[in-house]
Amino acid sequence: MDRRRIIVGISGASGAVYGVRALETLRALDVETHLVVSKAGALTLEHELGMKVADVRALADRHYAIGDVGAACSSGSFRTLGMIVAPCSMKTLAEIATGVSSTLLTRSADVVLKERRRLVLLVRETPLTRVHLTNMLAVTDMGGIVAPPVPAFYTHPASIGDMVDHTVGRVLDLFDLDTSLVKRWSGMRTSGQQEEPE
């Protein structure tokens, strides 16, 4: 590979902003992106962000139709760093966990797992049923990483954008891609280090 590549999948769960922000950040890092958006993902993008699929596709280096199972990213011989599904619906999780590849999105995830590459799923649902948890465990057992987009309040975020950026930055950490998005934890001051009041 001349350039580093990552596949980005956007499914229909709430949280389309995570996929969009991942694409923007990967572009800034000069990482080649290959995008697959599900039909429900297209609806969520428009509802939550007012974005058309064409707007999001413009952020990626390559994009594919959800039914294009002959696309480059459907083959293990197409080398990538791995794949991010942001957000990841429970339907998408279930297909990945059971090896069902009804779309290019889930086929790409299956390929990433079989090639022992990094797969990170930003699963979005609450509360969770036993089926959801079982599927998360199955994906984890196969080497995938389940990374729900849980906000980190220790960073004292000032906006939703801050919370999104921190999550995206932490996800890209998993690919050894360092961004300026993460407010790194440096430890709490112990009582012995606190200044005495005057």
Condensed to tens digits (0 to 9), the pLDDT of residues 155-165 reads 999 999 999 99
Q: How far is residue 67's CA from residue 42's CA, in Å, rounded to a whole number?
A: 14
**pTM (predicted TM-score):** 0.93
The interaxial angle of helices 90-98 and 130-141, nearest 10 deg, is: 50
Condensed to tens digits (0 to 9), the pLDDT of residues 25-77 reads 999 999 999 999 999 999 999 999 999 999 999 999 999 999 999 999 999 99
What residues contact residue 19 under an 8 Å CB cut-off, 6+ apart? 8, 9, 10, 37, 41, 56, 84, 86, 87
Report angle CA 56, 60, 62 to the nearest 5 degrees. Answer: 120
On whether the CB atoms of residues 118 and 175 are closer than 8 A, the answer is: yes
Q: How far is residue 32's CA from residue 144's CA, in Å, rounded to a whole number?
A: 21
Q: Is the pLDDT of residue 192 over 70?
A: no
CA-to-CA separations, 112 to 48, 56, 80, 142, 152, in angstroms, rounded:
28, 23, 8, 11, 28
Buried b or exposed e, range 76-113, using 16+ CB within 10 angstroms = eebebbbbbbbbbbbebbbbbbeeebebbbbbbbbbbb
Tell me the pLDDT band of 190, cut-offs 50, 70 and 90: low
Return the pLDDT at 162: 97
Side-chain half-sphere exposure of 32, counting CA atoms within 13 A: 11
Please tell me the total number of residues recorded for the chain in this structure. 198
Q: Is the pLDDT of residue 88 over 60?
A: yes
| Long-range contacts formed by 183-187: CB under 8 A, 24+ apart | 183/155, 185/154
CB atoms within 10 A of CB 52: 12
Condensed to tens digits (0 to 9), the pLDDT of residues 91-117 reads 999 999 999 999 999 999 999 999 999
Q: Is the pLDDT of residue 198 over 80?
A: no
70: left (phi over 0), alpha (psi -120 to 50) or beta: alpha
Condensed to tens digits (0 to 9), the pLDDT of residues 107-150 reads 999 999 999 999 999 999 999 999 999 999 999 999 999 999 99
Q: How far is residue 14's CA from residue 28's CA, in Å, rounded to a whole number?
A: 25
Return the pLDDT at 97: 98
> What domains, with CATH codes, occur in the chain?
5-181 (3.40.50.1950)
Tell me the pLDDT band of 178, cut-offs 50, 70 and 90: very high
Residue type, 110: D
Q: Is the pLDDT of residue 10 over 70?
A: yes
